[in-house]
């Protein structure tokens, strides 16, 4: 493991430098390997204007379905008068099903989070191969995760898109789920502006694994081969001394993009991401040509909410993943991060994040009230929304106070 460095606070003292960095972050000069999804026939799946219905049928005992192995099932999705798939007969869509989640994990017949895989290319909803259905048991507002990803995307970060689905398993209603776009090879192909993907590494296990070691189980290869030399080079570059760290790491990583990711994480109170001691819930994308970029994941306990009731880390807390720690010890990168925080604040206001949360919650309120499987009542969801709105509306003041002190 790389040696732990002393935390060095390096305030940004020159307003002109900060202004230049804000402009650069808002309009990056360097080409990004990943862009917004385009030409996507599945875009309707991630529209919040309507809620689709998903029916799943399996002959397996519900209690035997786990997160560690796949179970055979059949699938049907209904959107208005349009149907994709079938549960029975020669038209049935055969899929693979398993449970998901750590803190949000629930066994069936409770409201389990679900991962679906469509192994037959001709039996896919608008070409998608995987579907992630979050049970939202940790997001009582039912909108925080969707709204948080919207902010990431508004800042040019290739975050997943979201929609909503009401799920039935073996004809029993399981209630409202968040359909989070699975970040796989198909999703990356829709976003890759300058070439293909070499690797997509998923950061897992958090602080229980070694994020400084490229061979560690912390890095799960979701796309690509077992050759991790690209990741090894990035982590080796991160061992440079603070004075030369920026030049070393910036040659391999898009630090404009990464500092924006970390700034959004801290701004929305994502205490379980890369820029936190948990070092969890993120992806590293390595393109065939270009620099590493980072993608967010698992933001269901943000805006000061969530069932864990965790206090968000301060904007200046230097604990986190190894790249974030290195950035905080380098004056140039830290200035980029501070500038990114200001850019995030401005974007949050520009897209009216609080109004977005309010309108989205209103659109799904009826579905929340009908969800007999959920652990959250409509009144509790309303209260969670109010708490999230208070957090969002006070965040500019929180940041302004921190900037004055730093």
Q: Which residues contact 156 (CB under 8 A, 6 or more apart)?
A: 28, 32, 35, 36, 257, 260
Output the pLDDT for position 309: 72
Domain boundaries, the chain: 15-36+192-350, 43-185
Q: What is the pTM of this model?
A: 0.91
* N-terminal to C-terminal alpha carbon distance within the chain: 31
- The Cα 151–Cα 153 span in angstroms is 5
Output the pLDDT for position 16: 38
- E-strand ranges in 138-241 read 162-169, 172-180, 197-203, 219-223
Output the pLDDT for position 197: 94
Output the pLDDT for position 101: 86
Output the pLDDT for position 30: 52
Please state whether the peptide bond connecting residue 109 to the residue before it is cis, i.e. omega within 30 degrees of 0: yes
Classify each residue of 267-303 as buried b or exposed e, where b means 16 or more C-beta atoms within 10 Å of its C-beta. bbbbbbbbbbebbbbbbbbbbeebbbbbbbbbbbbbb
Output the pLDDT for position 326: 98
With a cut of 50, list the residues of the chain below it in pLDDT.
1-29
């Amino acid at each position: 493991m790389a040696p732990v460095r002393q935390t060095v606070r390096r305030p940004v003292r020159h307003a002109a430098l900060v202004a230049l960095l804000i402009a650069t972050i808002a309009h990056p000069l360097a080409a990004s390997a990943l862009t917004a999804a385009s030409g996507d026939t599945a875009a309707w799946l991630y529209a919040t204007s309507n809620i689709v219905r998903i029916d799943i049928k399996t002959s397996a005992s519900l209690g035997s379905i786990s997160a560690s192995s796949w179970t055979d099932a059949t699938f049907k999705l209904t959107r208005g008068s349009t149907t994709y798939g079938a549960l029975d007969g020669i038209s049935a869509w055969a899929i693979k099903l398993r449970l998901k989640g750590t803190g949000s994990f629930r066994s069936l017949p409770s409201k389990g989070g679900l991962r679906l895989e469509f192994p037959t290319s001709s039996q896919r909803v608008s070409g998608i191969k995987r579907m992630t259905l979050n049970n939202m048991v940790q997001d009582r507002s039912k909108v925080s995760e969707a709204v948080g990803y919207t902010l990431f995307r508004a800042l040019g970060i290739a975050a997943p898109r979201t929609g909503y689905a009401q799920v039935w398993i073996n004809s029993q209603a399981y209630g409202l789920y968040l359909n989070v776009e699975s970040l796989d090879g198909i999703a990356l192909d829709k976003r890759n502006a300058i070439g293909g993907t070499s690797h997509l590494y998923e950061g897992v296990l958090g602080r229980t694994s070694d994020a400084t070691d490229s061979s560690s189980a912390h890095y799960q290869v979701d796309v690509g081969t077992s050759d991790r030399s690209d990741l090894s080079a990035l982590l080796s570059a991160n061992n440079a001394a603070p004075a030369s760290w920026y030049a070393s790491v910036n040659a391999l990583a898009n630090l404009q993009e990464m500092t924006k990711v970390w700034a959004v994480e801290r701004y929305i109170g994502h205490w379980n991401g890369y820029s936190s001691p948990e070092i969890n819930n993120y992806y590293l994308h390595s393109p065939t040509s270009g620099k590493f970029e980072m993608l967010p994941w698992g933001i269901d306990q943000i805006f000061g909410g969530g069932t864990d009731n965790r206090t968000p880390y301060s904007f200046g807390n230097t604990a986190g993943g190894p790249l974030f720690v290195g950035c905080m010890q380098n004056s140039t990168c830290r200035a980029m991060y501070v500038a990114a925080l200001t850019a995030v604040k401005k974007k949050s206001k520009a897209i009216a994040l609080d109004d977005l949360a309010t309108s989205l919650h209103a659109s799904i309120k009826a579905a929340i009230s009908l969800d007999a499987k959920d652990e959250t009542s409509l009144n509790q969801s309303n209260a969670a929304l109010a708490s999230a709105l208070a957090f969002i509306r006070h965040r500019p003041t929180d940041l302004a106070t921190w900037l004055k002190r730093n």
